[in-house]
Amino acid sequence: MKTKEQLIDELIDLAFAEDIGDGDHTTLCCIPATAMGKSKLLIKEPGVLAGVEVARKIFHRFDPELKMTVYIKDGAEVKPGDVAFVVEGRVQSLLQTERLMLNVMQRMSGIATMTRRYVKRLEGLHTRVLDTRKTTPGMRMLEKEAVKIGGGVNHRIGLFDMILLKDNHVDFAGGIENAITRCHEYLKAKGKDLKIEIEVRNLDELREVMRVGGVDRIMLDNFTPELTREAVKIVGGKYETESSGGITFDTIRDYAECGVDFISVGALTHSVKGLDMSFKAC
């Protein structure tokens, strides 16, 4: 299995391939190969900065001689006019890395900013904000890193690092007990030690899970706050609890006050707006 670093390196290579192709002819036609200069990353709206270390990797992978001086680190709250870093080196390299770096940093900073808002909304409560697999194909590692930078918690990274028995799995398996039983048989046969979460759609399914047991976390899918409070009482701390489905910024605290351990929010990654910034000669 490929490591996180390998996946990020491959993403960077693919992004350069699709952007530069057989050459950045605009830059090559008017900028001498020997020209040297520097550019600054200028913040243009308030938010949480994320992607600085990925930007460093982008610059170094394209041109190891580019020198990056960082003034603001990942996770810091920024405002218009702030300069996050300055990069010095070949002007051709600065121009060819600009768009990929900005695409990554704007996306990651937008996710970190959104996550920080949700995390602050739950201040004083023990409930943690989770991301989901609703990510941009190929960019999952970066987007989930941005969630962590914003103060959120990563749910499973993919289909390989946790068992999550969702409604379709339960239905196709012929019910909750079948799904859980087969899960344990599979893990034993494969010699794997993975946490098990199961989704329930109502209190009857929740009671069935409590009867069968053998899980680590129960996901309460599309429950109302009232039903969530009742469900948390039924679970009684025996398993971790997670609320999911249709929860918004306006309603998330209502769910957290019911006592759930986690709330997953797809909006952290699937519909976020990038943070405005630019890379300008200086």
pLDDT tens-digit map of 140-167: 999 999 999 999 999 999 999 999 999 9
Q: Which of 199, 205, 242, 261 is catalytic?
A: 199
38, 99, 148, 201: which is the annotated catalytic residue? 99
Q: Residue 126 has which token pair?
A: 């023990």
CB-based contact 243:253 (threshold 8 Å)? no
For the chain, what is the mean pLDDT? 97
140 catalytic per annotation: no
DSSP 114: H
Average pLDDT for 121-133: 98
Strand partners, 39: 87, 281
Which residue in the list 56, 61, 166, 201 is annotated as catalytic?
166
Mean pLDDT of 272-281: 97
Can 221 be counted among the known catalytic residues?
yes
Tell me the per-residue pLDDT of 82-107, one tens digit each, with 9 for 90 and over: 999 999 999 999 999 999 999 999 99
Torsion (CA) 197, 136, 267, 48 in degrees, nearest 10:
110
pLDDT in tens, 17-44: 999 999 999 999 999 999 999 999 999 9
Cβ atoms 170, 69 nearer than 8 A: no
> Does the active-site annotation cover 18?
no
Catalytic residue among 145, 197, 205, 221: 221
Confidence band, pLDDT 50/70/90 cuts, at residue 1? confident
Residue among 40, 44, 121, 134 flagged as catalytic: 134
Distance CA 75, CA 59 (A): 20
**Residue 192 annotated in active site:** no
145 among known catalytic residues: no
pLDDT tens for 33-83 read 999 999 999 999 999 999 999 999 999 999 999 999 999 999 999 999 999
